[in-house]
Amino acid sequence: MASPICLRCLARPSAGNAPSLAAHLRIAPVSASFSTTSALTSSVGKKIPKKKPASLAKPKKGSFVLARRGSRSSGSTASRKDPAAIRAQRKRVVLSNPNALSVTDMQELSVKNALSSEEGTILTLSNESIDALRSAEAFKHNQGWNLFRQPSTLVTNQAREVAALIEGINQDRNTHKEVVVGDKGAGKSVLALQAMAFALQAGWVVIHIPEAQELALAHTSYAPMRTSQGETLYTQPDYTAALLSRISKSNSAVLSKLSLSKSHAFPIPVANNISLARLADLGASDATIAPAIFAALMTELLLPSSAAHPRPPLLFSLDGLPHICRPSKYLDREAQPIHGFDLSLVNTFTSLLSGATPLPNGGLVQGIDTNSNRPTTRALDQHIQTALEKSTSSPFSKVQGITPFLSPYKGHDARVLEALRSVSVRHVQGVSRLEARGVMEYYARSGVMRGAVDEPRVAEAWTLAGGGVLGELEGSLTRLRV
């Protein structure tokens, strides 16, 4: 009997039976009953490492600890010093050393004693002068005041000239303007201190800016101000308040006897007969009104003296003159650097220095150069070089009228050149050997230097000090031990 199913159909299964046939033909995977991989290299045998617990102990001294970005340090801030305390410690001036020997039979520094003293004489400062000069911040921490029992200074030839100058201004009521230059450590700031001591003893009003760098580094607040001439100046309220405080403390004996002579536009109610000392205290107590108070105080001091309202001569000195003879770090509304002469306090000083603002009662205006941190100021350097060459040129020289010319390839500040046009230059040089001997004898009497002060030792110290530079001479004497 023939089969109803074709043999060809049996050889090719239909679509409906394909899944079941594929399931029957599926090959089971073959796995070995053992493994040839070692247990050390097997990924299955590896264990997840445990995280190390965070160490709460303080790291060892000198070890490097890397902090994550954005993370804040959780360390204690108890050991961190206040920036104001660090600044006060840096500016701290010690004027007396109780361990030093007391030097007796010394005269006080005055105009009379300075003019009549011999070469190499050391004069001491009186207690009244010390208090006033400390209030004006005339002392500096790097001047070696902490080596002696009482502050004393050497009367050099330049100091005698300044004493004679102040005595002449007292009699004639004239005005003198000068720039004090010299090598580093030559005694420029000490000469300005001696001038302030002479002026305070003569009853002058002394205004001193100890560091002009603080006015130009953009470390204090400032604000624009429109003047009556239409110019834009920039006031520094906080620094002006501090300056008024120093003026009031250092000139209290003089300003307490002077009163207002005219009305001013004060931002607060002020009595008409208020003393200038009280007026300065008002500006020192509130920085917002300090610029207006300082402007009124300068107006009163620059009025002509009368019987009802006497006005004394004025000494205005600024230490660090190169810092203001260039653009400052302050920016205006267009993000452009503000020139140092556009600052209100600096503009007051430069107006007196250039002669634009006269001194009807006479006075002395001093700008002290610096070499410790001196910026580049081509205009000031040009003026100093020209003045020094004129003073040292021989009257019989054929090139007497030839002065250093301005380089056409370098820019020069015309404002600085115009302000210094009529200003003289005082060059402070090293002391003579006789003056160096007086300094060494004073060091020996104070117990700072050991050994005898003889001619060979004086010659050696004077030579090692670069020809009598006081700063180098002091360093060699304090480091030398026998």
Look up the CATH number of the domain holding residue 243.
Answer: 3.40.50.300
Pair 115, 163: CB distance under 8 Å: yes
> Alpha-carbon distance 459 to 10, whole Å?
131
User: Does residue 422 share a domain with residue 461?
Assistant: no
**Residue 224 per-residue DSSP state:** E
Residues β-bridged to residue 207? 316
Contact 412, 92 (CB under 8 A): no
Angle at 107 between CA 130 and CA 105, to 5 degrees: 115
The verdict on residue 399 lying in a domain is no
Q: Does residue 32 belong to any structural domain of this protein? A: no
**Domain annotation covers residue 339:** yes
Q: What span, in angstroms and rounded, lies between the C-alpha atoms of 297 and 284? A: 12
Residues 312 and 315: their CA atoms lie apart, in Å, by 10
Q: Which pLDDT score is estimated for 81?
A: 74
Return the closest-CA partner of residue 140 out of 262, 400, 320, 299: 320
Comparing CA positions, the residue from 159, 145, 73 lying closest to residue 113 is 159
Among 352, 350, 369, which Cα is nearest to 426's?
369
307 lies in the same domain as 166: yes
377 and 439 part of one domain? no
DSSP state of 450: -
Q: What is the pLDDT along the chain (482 residues), one digit of tens a residue?
A: 455 555 555 555 555 554 554 444 455 555 555 555 555 555 555 566 666 665 556 666 666 566 666 555 555 555 677 887 887 787 788 898 898 899 988 999 999 999 999 888 999 999 999 999 999 999 998 888 988 999 999 999 999 999 999 999 999 999 999 999 999 999 999 999 999 999 999 999 999 999 999 999 999 999 999 988 888 999 999 999 999 999 999 999 999 999 999 999 899 999 988 999 999 999 999 999 999 999 999 999 999 999 999 999 999 999 999 999 999 999 999 999 999 999 999 999 999 999 999 999 999 999 999 988 899 899 999 999 888 888 776 555 555 556 667 777 777 889 999 999 999 999 999 999 999 999 999 999 998 888 889 999 999 999 999 998 999 998 888 875 54
Contact criterion met (CB below 8 Å) for 472 and 465: yes
Q: What is the DSSP letter of 426?
A: E
Distance CA 322, CA 283 (A): 28
**Beta pairing partners, 318:** 209, 367
pTM value? 0.80
C-alpha 169: how far from chain center = 31
Give the tokens for residue 50. Answer: 């445990």
The burial class, CB within 10 Å (0-12 / 13-18 / 19+), for 129 is: buried
Claim to verify: residue 308 and residue 266 sit in the same structural domain: yes
Among 202, 233, 189, residue whose Cα is nearest residue 215: 233
Shared-domain flag, residues 413 and 438: no
Together in a domain, 387 and 458: no
Report pLDDT for 222: 95
If asked whether residues 424 and 439 sit together in one domain, one would say no
452 plus 326 within the same structural domain: no
**Total number of domains constituting the chain:** 2
7 domain-assigned: no
450 domain-assigned: yes
Helix axes 470-479, 433-445, angle to 10 degrees: 40
Q: What is the pLDDT of residue 76?
A: 53
Residue range of the domain that includes 458 = 433-479
Are residues 446 and 367 part of one domain? no
Q: Do 424 and 437 lie in a common domain? A: no
Of 146, 37, 36, 48, give the one whose Cα is nearest residue 99: 146
Give residue 15's pLDDT. Answer: 52
pLDDT at residue 84, as a whole number: 78
316 and 221 in one domain?
yes
Q: Which residues of 335-352 are buried (b: 16+ CB within 10 A; e: fewer)?
A: eeebbbbbbbbbbbbbbb
For residue 66, tell me if it sits in a domain: no
Closest by Cα among 183, 154, 177 to 165: 177
Contacts of 61 (CB under 8 A, 6+ apart): none
Q: Does residue 125 belong to any structural domain of this protein?
A: yes
Do strands 327-331 and 337-339 pair parallel, antiparallel, or not at all (unpaired)? antiparallel
312 assigned to some structural domain: yes
Only one residue has tokens 């300056």, namely: 243
Whether 328 and 248 share a structural domain: yes
